[in-house]
Amino acid sequence: MGSISEFFQHLMNGLTLGGIYALIALGYTMVYGILKFINFAHGDILMFGAYIGLFVFNFLRGDSPLGTWTFISFFIAMLISMIVTGALGVAIERIAYKPLRKASRLAPLLSAIGVSFILSNGAAWMWGTQSRKLEYPFDNAPFTVGGVVITPHQVMILIVSLIMMLALIIFVNNTRMGKAMRAVSLDQDTSRLMGINVNSVISLTFAIGSALAASGGMLIALDFKVYPSMGMMIGLKAFVAAVVGGIGNIGGAMLGGILLGLLETFGVAILGIPPAMKDTISFGILILVLLVKPEGLLGKAVREKV
């Protein structure tokens, strides 16, 4: 195996990881773009989505007539999980964040930490703390392309995350609702004067962000275990991805996610950072970005207005 194919191997692994990070980072960045606050509960929303998807998938698979086509039930499970989790996101916003929209900056942050705690411990209470594994929806025998080992899961993760991101870009740039969303993120008051229903735009933002997190959670469940506190580290990394790309910037979140996935993979593979310290890489990147370019790669530096 030459070093070129080794490089492509890491590239493939990094892109898969990055695609998942990007999906989750989008939720952080969209909420931040509109409400200017970090939704701490986002990682736990992802955990919730992964659980729902896992349950629905196991239910559908039970005695499925689909046979080798079980990946169809995987996508049905993902769809249901996205809908349920999106509704959860909207409910959380209505209950825990909306009353605090005019409160001091600290209040929604604290409320979000409370929500995150309720979700992760609620999951542990309802579903137990043992970790679960999603049964492979289809044969995951790796195949080799030019010396690069690729698993069908990786292909699926890449395709799904690509479709989601493209759909989001089209939605935000080419639809009426997307335009309303962009307007609200620029100026809430003016949008309201223009006849935009700001509350429904905010709800929609939470719905989309949470649904994307749920799909990310399902993709994670393909290769990793699902457990109640899984959302914390993944959420943290996705946030780092959003900051690296420039928080509040949708393209930035995608770029940041993929970049972070690549940096983590190559950091372990090439720089020889011990895998146990892998989580420290993203944290180091966060500090570095905050020091050098706090507005992120694609973000614009905004001067504070008085």
Residues 6+ apart with CB under 8 A from 61: 70, 73, 135, 137
For residue 230, give every residue at least 6 positions away whose Cβ sits within 8 Å of its Cβ, in sequence order, or none.
43, 46, 47, 50, 131, 220, 224
Report the nearest approach of another protein to the CB of residue 7 (Å). Answer: 29
In angstroms, the first-to-last Cα distance of the chain is 60
The yes or no reply on residue 300 touching another protein (CB under 8 A) is no
Distances (CA, A) of 74 to 99, 221, 231: 37, 11, 21
Tell which positions 37-56 bind another protein, by CB under 8 A. Answer: 37-38, 40
Determine, following the binding rule CB under 8 A, whether residue 279 of this chain makes contact with another protein: yes
Work out which of 254, 286, 296, 299 binds another protein, going by CB under 8 A: 286
Rounded least distance, CB 260 to another protein, Å: 13
The site that binds another protein (CB under 8 A) totals a number of residues, namely: 51
Nearest to 137 by CA among 80, 73, 76, 63: 73
Nearest approach, Cβ of residue 13 and another protein (Å): 22
**Residue 104 binds to another protein (criterion: CB under 8 A):** yes
Q: How far is the CB of 204 from another protein (least distance, A)?
A: 19
Note the residues at the interface with another protein (CB under 8 A): 36-38, 40, 95-96, 99-100, 102-111, 113-119, 121-122, 124-125, 188-189, 232-233, 236, 239-240, 243, 276-277, 279-280, 282-283, 286-287, 290-291, 294, 304-306
